[in-house]
Amino acid sequence: MSDREYKLIFTGSMGAGKTTAIAAVSEVAPVRTEMQNTDHAHHVKETTTTGLDYGVVTLPGGEVLRLFGTPGQVRFQFMWEILGKGALGVVVLADNSSEDPVGDVLEYARAFADVIDGSRAVVGVGRMDVHPVPTLEDYDAALRGIGVRVPVVSTDVRQREQVLTLLDILFYQIDAASEFSGAALQEVP
Amino acid sequence: MSGKEERVSRSEEAIILHHLDSLMVKEQEISGVLVSTGDGFRVASRLTGSLSAEKLSAMASSLIAINEAVCKESSLGACRDLVIEASQGRILLMDIPHPAQKLILTVLCRAKVTMGQVLWAARGCRESLGKLFVGS
Ligand SMILES: Nc1nc2c(ncn2[C@@H]2O[C@H](COP(=O)(O)OP(=O)(O)OP(=O)(O)O)[C@@H](O)[C@H]2O)c(=O)[nH]1
Ligand SMILES: [Mg+2]
């Protein structure tokens, strides 16, 4: 991977919109690996991602973003580990209409703690228009509680522009984190 | 994060296990078999040692899903069996015909057995399970 290429992760709970988000922005036909969902007690959706999602976006500055979506369910944790390798940042998606969306976000933030490293992430909360609670502040407070300081924004991943906004924010977070660690490195005598 | 839910009844599981057992009797080098749903839940299994049927079910689901994406990407037609060659054995994954849902048969075998032999036996098991579901 060249230094202008970035591997980014989309994660979040079942049905939060990881597959939708990547399909909304990818310049290449996205890779999807969906299977029929049999766990209707957990979510009523027809299909669910059990392998990975993949898509590519080129930013106006020429940076190539390689987007990898994870399965949501914890039984696919081994895929989280595989996909997280070499990633530079994480988009965590939440569905505000679900039972415990803040708890879900904390779980993914913990699972990807090595990649996030305190700040290399953005949280996108969907369906806030119809489910205004929990609020963005609730997410922010909970994340700070586990030492993660990242932007939390309302989003609709069906809208390409809104997914691009998430990626812009994440890109900024990664840049800021790299500059910071770069500066820290230079201070070493 | 997920509620536990029975996917097959006890009696159905017993019938599936009967088929898995006869596969293992037929091929002594088969060391484990598993039937799981397309989205990664255990249905029935005969595994030895510390192998987790739950984890293997999720892995089988990911493998089959990625396999299908690769077949589609390379325009080589419908996906059939997936064979993984390991230094000390083989792992075979295949769909089981079912009218309502995708089920996966995973077969683990030791290195000694020839590929044709185990494929033949596994496909036989797959057919008999398929008849079971289509007939039900
Ligand atoms: N009404 C509404 N629907 C949304 C919103 N965001 C996403 N969706 C819908 O929610 C669904 C999300 O499905 P997926 O993209 O498959 O979700 P996923 O995260 O990939 O799910 P898994 O692979 O099962 O973990 C899609 O049908 C979207 O159209 C939103 O803000 N409002
Ligand atoms: Mg998905």
Q: Which domain holds residue A154?
A: 5-187
- Which residue of A lies nearest to B52 if distances are taken between CA atoms? A75
Which residue stretches of A65-159 are H helix? 77-84, 101-111, 113-116, 136-145
Q: Please state, in angstroms and as integers, the Cα–Cα distance from residue B57 to each residue in B43, B51, B80, following that order.
A: 9, 11, 18
Considering its fold, how many domains does chain A have in total?
1
- Ligand 1 within 6 A of CB of A157: yes
Contact A76 B66 (CB under 8 A): no
Residue B57: predicted pLDDT: 98
Using alpha carbons, select from B9, B48, B53 the residue that is nearest to residue B35: B53
Q: Which stretch of A72-81, A136-145, B1-10, B79-88 has the lowest confidence by average pLDDT?
A: B1-10
* Contact map slice: B 1-40 vs A, CB within 8 A: 1-3, 5, 7, 37-40
Give the model confidence (pLDDT) of B83-128 as tens digits.
Answer: 999 999 999 999 998 888 889 999 999 988 888 889 999 999 999 9
Is A4 an 8 Å CB contact of chain B?
Answer: no
Q: CATH code at A179?
A: 3.40.50.300
Write the residue with the smallest CA distance to atom 23 of ligand 1. A49
Separation of alpha carbons A40 and A38, rounded Å = 6
H helix or E strand, kind and range, residue B17? helix B10-26
Using alpha carbons, select from A51, A54, A71, A67 the residue that is nearest to residue A111: A71
The partner residues of B72 in beta bridges, in order of sequence, read: none
Separation of alpha carbons A181 and A123, rounded Å = 22
Closest ligand 1 atom, residue A71 Cα: 25
| A123, A139 Cβ separation under 8 angstroms | yes
Separation of alpha carbons A42 and B125, rounded Å = 32
Least Cα separation, residue A46 to chain B (angstroms): 11
Q: What is the largest CA-CA distance in chain B?
A: 41
Testing ligand 1's pocket by substitution, the residue of A18, A159, A160 carrying the most ligand atoms inside 8 A of its CB is A18
User: Bigger pLDDT: B71 or B11?
Assistant: B71
Phi and psi dihedrals of B125, rounded to 5?
-65, -40
Is B125 an 8 Å CB contact of chain A?
Answer: no
- Ligand 1 within 6 A of CB of A94: no
Pick the CATH number of B10-134 from 3.30.450.30, 3.40.50.620, 3.10.129.10, 2.40.30.20: 3.30.450.30
Question: Counting ligands in written order, which one lies closest to the CA of residue A76?
Answer: 1
Contact A35 B64 (CB under 8 A): yes
- Ligand 1 within 6 A of CB of A127: yes
**ipTM score here?**
0.91
What letter does residue A31 receive in the DSSP assignment?
B
pTM for this entry? 0.93
Residue whose pair of structure tokens reads 């994060």 in the numeric block: B1
- DSSP, collapsed to helix, strand or coil, labels residue B97 as coil
What letter does residue A74 receive in the DSSP assignment?
G
Residues near B46 by beta carbon (within 8 Å), at least 6 away in sequence? B17, B20, B21, B24, B32, B33, B34
Q: Which stretch of A1-5, A38-42, A96-100, B4-8 has the lowest confidence by average pLDDT?
A: B4-8
Give the model confidence (pLDDT) of A1-20 as tens digits.
Answer: 566 899 999 999 999 999 99
- DSSP, collapsed to helix, strand or coil, labels residue A151 as coil
